Amino acid sequence: MTHFTPDESMPTEERRNDLLILSRVSAAVSGLGDLDAVLKVGLDKTLEYMDGIQGGIMLLHENGRALKYRVARGLSTEYAEQMRLEVGEGLAGKVAQTGRAVLVDDISEEPGAARPHLIDMEGLRAFVSVPLRSRERILGVMNCASRVPHHFVRRDMLLLHSIGDQLGTAVDSARMYEKLNRSRRRYWRIARRLIVAQEEERERIARDLHDETSQVLTGLALKLQVLKEMCDLQNICDDRFRQVLDEAHASAKQINREVSRVITDLRPTLLSTMGLVPAIREHVESHLKPLGIEVSFDFQDIKPPPPPEAEISLFRWVQGAVGNIIKHSNAGHVRVSLRRTGDEMRLKVADDGRGFDVDLLQEGEEGQGTGLLIMKERLELVDGSCRIDSEPGRGTTVIARFPLK
């Protein structure tokens, strides 16, 4: 049995050739985010440079103790399924334990080989096993076998060892990528559910406000109106009394208007009855004009309009942008435009206010800028996207894009 020692000297031509093979295997697996693809492509590319060789890649199970084949070429399914090893068991198990590659001229003669009946059944003779390693951890082994003895030389083992290191790194990245993807999927699921829950909750609060609070307030305003009329009829002319009554009546009407506005914000009925454009126009005008902010619009007729779930996301996005203008911008003028550009719709809200440094925001502390983040996520959930253009002193423009296919 031969172990790998790194101080091997090799003629330049051979070394160049091996480096070429190594870089080709490495290029083939680089950028593959899927673990199975990394293993299959890595093994196929490796075996492509070795005539008449079978092989496979065994990965360590998550618990770090069991080793089994994840991909095999030229080996029977029975062999690949039954050849399960503990770390330290058999030749491949030793490689996984020590991280040292192994080469044997005839594995069927090796007393240390595990499952000799499987090896006989498969007719394996010459055998090389190299570790797959990444960040000092062993992730598995790659085995190559020939059905004739004395097939491999030390050079093969050196080359396979280097390939093993490359594959180890690729396997590690693919696993991290898969983990990241799983977390992202989980995140999307939660985000989607939260948004649905938020809409349902808004609907419920709007309904309660409309059916109860608003009714009571309307009743109160009416009663105060009646009181005023009774005063007039009975000629009660106490000025102070009359003034308080007028104020109470005005307050009741004002609160009622405020509640109606809250209801509209929570449940934009115009959106379902008239569509996106009137709903946006109404929202922008009713929120910005009373603050002395000028508004202008440039709306193109978009046919067919986006589906309802996208419209509600786009409307909520405008609400977020308007909220920020009120809270942060100190703007004098706001322009809202909606245009079709090719196959996409662009909704733009531009203010001429104080602006801000977008880069600082993105690098900012956690929790900062959640409003903009939620606006972006909501759009992404319906396949849209958004961008912020802003600079201190030069206003802010937020642009939402939505595909119209």
Ligand X SMILES: Nc1ncnc2c1ncn2[C@@H]1O[C@H](COP(=O)(O)OP(=O)(O)OP(=O)(O)O)[C@@H](O)[C@H]1O
Cα dihedral sign, 400-311-191-260: positive
CB of 384 to ligand X, least distance (A): 17
Pick from ligand X, Mg ion, none: which does 143 bind, CB < 5 to 8 A by kind?
none
For the chain, how big is the Rg over CA atoms in Å? 36
CB of 43 to ligand X, least distance (A): 48
Pick from Mg ion, ligand X, none: which does 351 bind, CB < 5 to 8 A by kind?
ligand X
Residue 327 binds ligand X (CB under 6 A): yes
On the question of a cis peptide bond just before residue 6, with omega within 30 degrees of 0, the verdict is no
Write out the two tokens for 343.
């196959």
Pick from Mg ion, ligand X, none: which does 370 bind, CB < 5 to 8 A by kind?
ligand X
Decide if 255 contacts 223 (C-beta within 8 A): no
Q: Which residues pair with 54 in a beta bridge?
A: 145
| Residues of span 354-373 touching ligand X by CB under 6 A | 354-356, 361, 369-372
Distances (CA, A) of 175 to 59, 182, 195, 251: 12, 10, 30, 63
Q: What is the DSSP code (8-state) at residue 334?
A: E
CB-wise, 206 or 375, nearer to ligand X? 375
Residue 369 binds Mg ion (CB under 5 A): no
Residue 319 binds Mg ion (CB under 5 A): no
* Residue from 98, 371, 374, 401 in contact with Mg ion (CB under 5 A): 371
CB-wise, 239 or 363, nearer to Mg ion? 363
> CB count, 10 Å around CB of 341?
10
Cα dihedral sign, 149-154-159-163: positive
User: CB burial class (10 A; 0-12, 13-18, 19+) of residue 265?
Assistant: middle
Pick from ligand X, Mg ion, none: which does 352 bind, CB < 5 to 8 A by kind?
none
Pick from ligand X, Mg ion, none: which does 170 bind, CB < 5 to 8 A by kind?
none
Residue 162 binds Mg ion (CB under 5 A): no
User: The tokens 């435009």 sit on which residue?
Assistant: 337
Burial 280-291 (b: 16+ CB within 10 A, else e): bbbbbeebbeee
CB of 292 to Mg ion, least distance (A): 20
CB-wise, 149 or 371, nearer to Mg ion? 371
Count of residues in the chain: 405
CB-wise, 55 or 320, nearer to ligand X? 320
Distances (CA, A) of 132 to 5, 10, 156, 341: 16, 23, 16, 50
Binding-residue total with ligand X (CB under 6 A): 16
Residue 324 binds Mg ion (CB under 5 A): yes
Residue 329 binds ligand X (CB under 6 A): yes
CB-wise, 256 or 390, nearer to Mg ion? 390
* Interacting residue ranges for ligand X, rule: CB under 6 A: 324-325, 327-329, 351, 353-356, 361, 369-372, 396
* Interacting residue ranges for Mg ion, rule: CB under 5 A: 324, 371
